[in-house]
Amino acid sequence: MLDFSFNLGLAISSLMICLVNLIYTLIQGRSDKAQNKVFIVMLFILISNSITGIISAVYGFYPDLAGAGDILRIDKYVYFITHTALCPMFFYYISSISFVSTRFSKMRNAVVFIPFFVTELLVITNMFTHWVWNVDRNLVFHREWGEMLIYLAALFYYAASFVVLISSWKVITSKRRLAIIFFFVFVIIGVAIQLVNKDIKSEIISEALGFTGVMMLVENEDDRMAGTSGFYNRAALTMDMNACLVHNRHVDIVVIRVLNHEIISRITGVDEASVLPGILSDYLKPMVKRYNTYVPTNDSIVMAFYHSQHENMDNIVRELYNRMDKPWDYKDNKVYLDTVIMVANIPKSITSVSELFYMIDKPVPANNKKILRGNDLDYVVKRQAIESALSRGFAEGSYEVYYQPTYHIDKKLHGAEALIRMHDKEMGNLYPDEFIPVAEQNGLIDDIDDFVLEEVCKFIKSGVPKQHGIDNINVNLSVLQVMRPKFIDHINEIVDKYDIDKKFINFEITESIAATDYDMLSNIIILLKKEGFLFSMDDYGTGYSNVSAVFSLNLDVIKIDKSLLWGAEKSESGMIILENTIRMIRQMNKKILVEGVETAAQIKLLEKLGVDYLQGYFFSKPIPKDDFVALISRQKKVDLNSLR
Ligand code: C2E
Ligand code: CA
Ligand code: CA
């Protein structure tokens, strides 16, 4: 037989554990969300249960103490009334962390809580019925059938919590899931022991221990916080919006995009990640709860409104819009924010988290609108359609490589550029400018680039290009591909399959790749050139790259962007830029290709300036491979006059 001090020890331990949990929760200031409040209430229930446990241990052992009978009776009431509420509370807790709770209709809420009402009623009326427990003359406590009903109700709520947990599996982080599962394990063990032997009061301590894990891993939100702003971060936004989508919960989203945040960070000397929350948090707090506000990027703040009506949103947007026109006092500076406000609804206008992030991350459309809502956000929806088209693209064979010929300045055929095209059965023909940025975001760009390289290898392997005097075929590389680990091995692996001469392939890189990491890029180029590949700098003259760094790269050809050529025809300054760009590249001893050649006059100009190669609609648009082969068979040397 166990000594009474054993149960007294358990009860005191539970009390200590719960008090510590409560203190840390309050120190951390985690008390404003519904979830936090429920957690605190559960702690109070357990604290009260621990105290009743202490009392019943002491008075149960010393039944002769004054008033022992009454105290024990009251003690039991307090215990049952509070403890019966714990499981429904826990169910509500799990529902709120997984965003399920708000999906419940009033009706459903009522039904879900029927077992709770019934068991509480049983407990309250026990003094007349003694259906739940009975305390006999010797102050010995007897369980009655009603207690089994309470256990069943508890089982019901734990099972329901478990179902909610499973249905929300994807929207709860793995460590939170683990904490909750351990909670279940602790409680099951504690309850099982007490059921088997009612003299071991193990249930409360097992719950207290389980809640400790929940406090450390679920209530603790360090992984969701954006710095010290009190707002949530990108990961939290992803999780929460995913949860809303999974449970079909409606939420109005307002995104504030600040276009000049870099300058503001420089003016104020506050780092880019903290400057916007710093300026805006006091203003936003009365408008939206801190835990419905997210800072997913340095230049944006996202607010989620869960119970808003249409007029309500209009007011909020108008208020924001008016305020954004005025300056902000921040760190002894007056700063102006150049903002665009985007208003969307999940799941009405935004149907996936990737759409939301497209809205947040991508450049805002250049239409000078300060508020984007409704149809203004069609570009996001189109993006979604493109994403679906991309993902079915390989299965349906939508991709095709087109070739656009390039010529020597004397109009003799030089080579070709491989350019991807997409023929989607729903969206029709798509151009790379539309789908490449999306593919870069969802990772499919790797497969597309590999596809193009393979197609080009096959083409070279066929021997046709060589027969027609083609020197090389240009293949575009995207930034992401080049920065991928083992990029060189990957390229070699593909090309080696076809056993072709590598000097037939000329990779085009852009300044945007170069700008990310010159040292790494330089190494990659050196290594691949050793293999035999050639390299071109694409779109030269469009970025603000470090000119000396670009020329330190061991490139074979510089491709001058079409905008420079077209600009030269439009203005005198454009002409000066083109002339001097070409002169400089020539002095650097690099070959020059000019793209976008559409007229004979342009060819004349370029001849005079001394470029090496030409590419453009004057000769041919990019065309399918068979058409390209037909074209180069027809004209090994293009006669300028015959084309006019
Ligand atoms: P880019 O590499 O600068 O390709 C040249 C673009 O200019 C092509 O557009 C071509 O059709 C167009 N162009 C050529 N000559 C003329 C001309 O005389 N007049 C006019 N108006 N346009 C001309 P396209 O094919 O739409 O490709 C757009 C961009 O998409 C490419 O720009 C390139 O950055 C990207 N891209 C295309 N194919 C691939 C690919 O296979 N992989 C990767 N990573 N990117 C690709
Ligand atoms: Ca190119
Ligand atoms: Ca180009």
- The predicted-structure confidence for 387-400, as pLDDT tens digits, reads as follows 889 989 999 999 99
Per-residue pLDDT, averaged over 353-365, amounts to 88
- 373: Cβ contacts below 8 Å, ≥ 6 apart: 317, 342, 343, 344
Q: Ligand 3 mean position to 452 CA, how many Å?
A: 16
Nearest residue (CA) to ligand 1, atom 3: 539
Question: What percent of the chain stands above pLDDT 90?
Answer: 68
Does 635 have pLDDT greater than 80? no
- ∠ CA 21-170-213, nearest 5°, is 15
Q: Which of 400, 419, 441 to mutate to test the pocket of ligand 1 (most atoms within 8 A of CB)?
A: 419
Q: CA–CA separation, 39 vs 110, rounded Å?
A: 21
What confidence tier does 50 reach under pLDDT thresholds 50, 70, 90? Answer: very high
- Quick one: pLDDT band at residue 366, thresholds 50, 70, 90? confident
Q: Tell me, what's the pLDDT at 61?
A: 86
pLDDT at 108: 75
Ligand 2 centre from 294 Cα, in Å?
A: 38
**Phi-psi category of 364—alpha, beta or left, where left has phi over 0 and alpha has psi -120 to 50?**
beta
Which amino acid residue places its CA nearest to atom 10 of ligand 1? 622
Q: What local confidence, expressed as pLDDT, does residue 210 receive?
A: 94
Tell me the mean pLDDT in the region 300-315.
Answer: 90
Supply the pLDDT for residue 545.
63
**Residue corresponding to tokens 């409704």:** 374
Q: List 420's β-bridge partners, or say none.
A: 401
Does pLDDT of 504 surpass 90? yes
Which ligand 1 atom minimizes the distance to the CA of 401? Answer: 41
Average pLDDT in the chain? 90
Residue 234 has pLDDT above 70, yes or no: yes
Res. 569: pLDDT tops 90: yes
What is the pLDDT at residue 238? Answer: 95
User: For the ranges 103-117, 186-200, 247-261, which has the lowest average pLDDT?
Assistant: 103-117
Which are the contacts of 48, defined by CB distance < 8 A and separation ≥ 6? Answer: 78, 79, 82
| Ion ligand 3: protein residues whose beta carbon lies under 5 Å | 538-539
Cα dist from 291 to 36, 37, 351, 585, 598, whole Å: 11, 14, 22, 55, 56
Nearest CA to ligand 1 atom 24: 432
* pLDDT at residue 640, as a whole number: 44
Over range 123-148, report the average pLDDT. Answer: 88
Write the pLDDT tens digit of every residue in 206-221: 999 999 999 999 999 8
Q: How far is the CA of 395 from the centre of ligand 3 (A)?
A: 29
Query: Which atom of ligand 1 lies closest to the CA of 445?
Result: 44
For residues 163 and 551, give the distance between their C-alpha atoms in angstroms, rounded to a whole number: 62
| Residue list, ligand 1 pocket, CB within 6 Å | 404, 419-420, 431-433, 436, 449, 452, 476, 478, 508, 538-539, 595-598, 615-617, 622
Q: What residues contact residue 473 under an 8 Å CB cut-off, 6+ apart?
A: 403, 415, 416, 417, 418, 456, 459, 460, 465, 504, 505, 506
Query: Residue 43: pLDDT above 60?
Result: yes
In 3D space, the residue among 297, 302, 343, 345 whose CA is nearest the CA of residue 321 turns out to be 343
Angle between helix axes 145-167 and 114-124 (nearest 10 degrees) is 160
- Going from the Cα of 595 to the center of ligand 3, the distance in angstroms, rounded, reads 7
Q: Shortest CA distance to 558 belongs to which of 586, 577, 599?
A: 586
The region of weakest confidence among 351-365, 552-566, 606-620 is 351-365
Nearest 10 degrees: Cα torsion 31, 37, 43, 47: 90
Helix (H, G, I), strand (E, B) or coil at 605: helix
Asked if the bond preceding 296 is cis, omega within 30° of 0, the reply is no
Percent of the chain with pLDDT over 70: 96
Does residue 320 surpass a pLDDT of 50?
Answer: yes
CA of 552 to the centre of ligand 1 (A): 25
At 229 the pLDDT is 85
Q: 619 — phi, psi (to 5°)?
A: -90, -55
Neighbours of ion ligand 2 (CB under 5 A): 476, 508, 538
From 59-68, 111-120, 591-600, the region with the lowest mean pLDDT: 59-68
* 478 Cα to the center of ligand 3, angstroms: 12
* Model confidence at 637: pLDDT above 50: no
Distances (CA, A) of 354 to 210, 240, 377, 493, 522: 35, 13, 14, 32, 33
Q: Which residues have C-beta within 8 Å of that of residue 275, sequence separation ≥ 6?
A: 261, 264, 265, 268, 298
pLDDT at 363: 82
Question: What is the strand order of the sheet 251-258 is part of?
Answer: 293-297, 300-305, 251-258, 339-346, 371-373
pLDDT confidence of 102, banded at 50, 70, 90? low
The whole-number average pLDDT for the span 338-347 is 94
How far does residue 417's CA lie from ligand 2's centre (Å)? 7
Q: Whose CA is nearest to atom 35 of ligand 1?
A: 432
Q: Record the pTM.
A: 0.69
Q: How confident is the model at residue 463 (pLDDT cuts 50, 70, 90)?
A: very high
User: Which of 180-189, 605-614, 629-638 shows the lowest mean pLDDT across its residues?
Assistant: 629-638
How much is the pLDDT for 619?
96
CA of 165 to the centre of ligand 3 (A): 51
User: In this structure, which residue's CA is closest to atom 19 in ligand 1?
Assistant: 596
pLDDT at 135: 82
- CA angle 540/546/552 to nearest 5° reads 85
What would the mean pLDDT of 285-299 be, rounded to a whole number? 93
Of 452-461, 538-547, 613-622, the range with the lowest mean pLDDT is: 538-547
Q: Which atom of ligand 1 is nearest to the CA of 481?
A: 44
The mean pLDDT of 332-355, rounded to a whole number, is 91
Identify the pLDDT of residue 544. 65
pLDDT tens sequence across 529-561 = 999 999 999 999 887 667 887 888 889 999 999
Res. 563: pLDDT tops 80: yes
Q: Report the nearest-CA residue for atom 4 of ligand 1.
A: 419
Mean pLDDT of 500-509: 96
* Widest pairwise Cα distance in the chain: 121
pLDDT at 93: 93
